[in-house]
Structure 1
Amino acid sequence: MAGDSKKVQPIIIKRIKKGGHAAHGGAWKIAYADFVTAMMAFFLLMWLLGSTTEGDKKGIADYFNSPLKVAMFGGSGSGDSSSVIKGGGTDLSNTSGQVKRGQVEAPKRTFNLQALKAMREQQAQAEAARLKVLKEKVEEVIANDSRLAQYKSQIRLDLTAEGLRIQIVDNQNRPMFDSGNADVKGYIQDILRAIGGVLREVPNKLTIEGHTDSKPFSSGDRGYSNWELSADRANASRRELIAGGLPGDKVLRVQGLAASMLYEKDAPESPLNRRISIIVMNREAEDRVFKAAEAEATASAPEDAENIPAMAPQ
């Protein structure tokens, strides 16, 4: 037994083989690169939003709300999206009060009331000078015409707020019309036709007014009165002006004013109150007439629309 214990025991050596990790490959690198790219894009987006003006943000919002509309017609802030600098411009250190290159010319196209007012004043001055020359030309025609020179005292020319006014007044010994009649006398025909020839080349529109004295008709205002008579005389004068060469489309208004605007207020029945007024209207007076006509047409449009009978469905 003792000998057996002295037997050499076998030495068992355990060799532990360390196993290696499995190969992971390069997939983690791709994921990491995607993460870094996403983070960079996120911070770039935050920077862009922080440096974008309110107009740009509104334009971007409009685009995503209705992209087709903004693409075709534009929208609020849609033209500022090319600038990432706050306030626009090219200076990164300045975040406010900058102007982009494309906006430099914008103030020149701004509606300038002062410039428009100055332009209208210049036009009014030029037109007044032109009417003054016309006045001198009419006076020259009357002075050089032997038939008209003798009636010079009955022709009054003056410049008013409406333009050049040419008045042909009556005379006790030389009336323009017979009493209560609208037939033009022969010498008045000569005057009106001569004036029509001069005004033929003037671009301005005309107003022709008939005036009478305050002496009423026996029938009163209910029958044929000074209102109808003054209108008939103004229209008869229009025909003579056209016979003298004046184009018919130059006459803007023909009106009878009866005795509402007396030439001699202290003498209502004076022959000077019986007159024909030809007004070469300036542009301002023309505009007032056209605007009044437009306003009247606009005011009467709803009433006309209500009077249209409804059509029954078929």
Structure 2
Amino acid sequence: MALDDKKQPIVVKKVYKKAGHHGGSWKVAFADFATAMMAFFLVLWLLNATTAEQLGGISEYFRNPSAVEGKSTASPGSLGDGTGVAPALINLEGAIDVAPESDYDADSSHELSERMEREQLEALMQVLRESIDSSQALAPFKDQLLLDLTPEGLRIQIVDHENRPMFDLGSATLLGYSQAILRELGALINEVPNKVSITGHTDARPLLRANYSNWELSAERANAARRALVTGGMQPEKIGRVVGLADTVLFDKEDPLSSVNRRISIIVLNKRAEEAIALDGQLPDVPPTQERGDVP
């Protein structure tokens, strides 16, 4: 048999390719995304659980960190970095508590809140002064309107003049221009959220009426002022206290019968004074300002 006639064996070569893996980079990216979302929702939760006062304290820290430099006394887990500042601790309920022994404590946040409130009352006092100068209803009586800042808030005193009293002698009925003054003030005071305290004062002249004294008269005058303020636009719920003090807090101690002792005192209360009234209804009496004549 010839060589060409021989059948050559047919060799079939099968190539098996190993399937390569697609890599794990997508898993890392997904894990990073999940972590970021968890952190985002955690921040939202903490913000929702934090009071406005605490947020103000944190904001003040990041705006001026040097104000809280000092020896760090933060416990483990604090937000401080060991460099001498320990701004806050996060408790298990998500609220932000100030470190108990830190130089940056609750007092700092409280002081910030009080400073902001005082600035708001100073701004209101400036608005009142400008309104008194420009208002046709108030300008003629600017010498009877006295404004000053006290530890309780912004005090507005409306005093009597011999020829221009707020009330008829021995009466709790407001005269026409007195109502106009109080209505104008009511609209302006309503622009701030603070509550107000209204106090009526009389001179030391005794009343010749049975079972009716300066105590009743001063209280009724304070209530008349309250009604006029509400008529002018002040919300009734802003009234924190209405009281009559008769002649116990004289404006002019040297002359107890002086007309300036007959006055209405309106205090736009700060937060501390509001809390004191809510606690026991008491508000320390502030000596009347001795500035006379024009608005201070």
Instruction: Check whether TM > 0.5.
Output: yes
- For 2:264, which of 276, 282, 287 is the aligned residue? 276
Distance 2:183 2:195 in 1: 17
Alignment of 1:180-199 (within 5 A): 180-199=170-189
Alignment of 1:1-314 (within 5 A): 104-105=77-78, 108-109=89-90, 111-113=98-100, 114-219=104-209, 223-292=211-280
Distance 2:250 2:204 in 1: 8
Distance 2:266 2:135 in 1: 20
What are the ranges of 5 or more consecutive residues in structure 2 without an aligned counterpart? Answer: 1-75, 80-87, 91-96, 283-296
Asked whether the 8 Å contact 2:241–2:277 carries over to 1, the reply is no
TM-score, reference length from structure 1: 0.58
Give the structure 2 partner of residue 87 of structure 1. Answer: none
* Cα 1:293/1:215, change in 2 over 3 Å: closer
Distance 1:248 1:186 in 2: 22
Shift in Å, 1:141: 1.0
Give the structure 2 partner of residue 25 of structure 1. Answer: none
The one-letter code matched in structure 1 to 2:176 is G
The one-letter code matched in structure 1 to 2:239 is V
Give the structure 1 partner of residue 10 of structure 2. Answer: none
Any idea what the Cα deviations from partners look like across 1:1-32, whole Å, max 9, x if unmatched? xxxxxxxxxxxxxxxxxxxxxxxxxxxxxxxx
Asked whether the 8 Å contact 2:200–2:222 carries over to 1, the reply is yes
Distance 2:128 2:170 in 1: 29
Shift in Å, 1:154: 0.2
Higher helix share: 1
SS at match of 1:146: coil
Shift in Å, 1:146: 2.0
Any idea what the Cα deviations from partners look like across 1:54-112, whole Å, max 9, x if unmatched? xxxxxxxxxxxxxxxxxxxxxxxxxxxxxxxxxxxxxxxxxxxxxxxxx6359723543
Shift in Å, 1:147: 2.7
Please provide the CA RMSD for this pair. Answer: 2.0
Distance 1:268 1:256 in 2: 17
Shift in Å, 1:218: 2.3
SS at match of 2:183: helix
Distance 2:198 2:137 in 1: 23
Distance 1:121 1:157 in 2: 24
Distance 1:141 1:293 in 2: 32
The one-letter code matched in structure 2 to 1:156 is L
Distance 1:105 1:121 in 2: 23
What are the ranges of 5 or more consecutive residues in structure 1 without an aligned counterpart? Answer: 1-102, 295-314
The one-letter code matched in structure 2 to 1:108 is L
Distance 1:253 1:193 in 2: 18
Identity across matched positions, percent: 46
* Cα 1:245/1:181, change in 2 over 3 Å: same
The one-letter code matched in structure 2 to 1:284 is R
Shift in Å, 1:257: 0.5
Q: Which has the higher contact order (CA 8 A, sep 6+)?
A: 2
Give the structure 2 partner of residue 88 of structure 1. Answer: none
TM-score, reference length from structure 2: 0.61
Distance 1:122 1:150 in 2: 38
Any idea what the Cα deviations from partners look like across 1:145-191, whole Å, max 9, x if unmatched? 12321110000000001000000000001111011100001011111
Distance 1:271 1:293 in 2: 29
SS at match of 1:150: helix
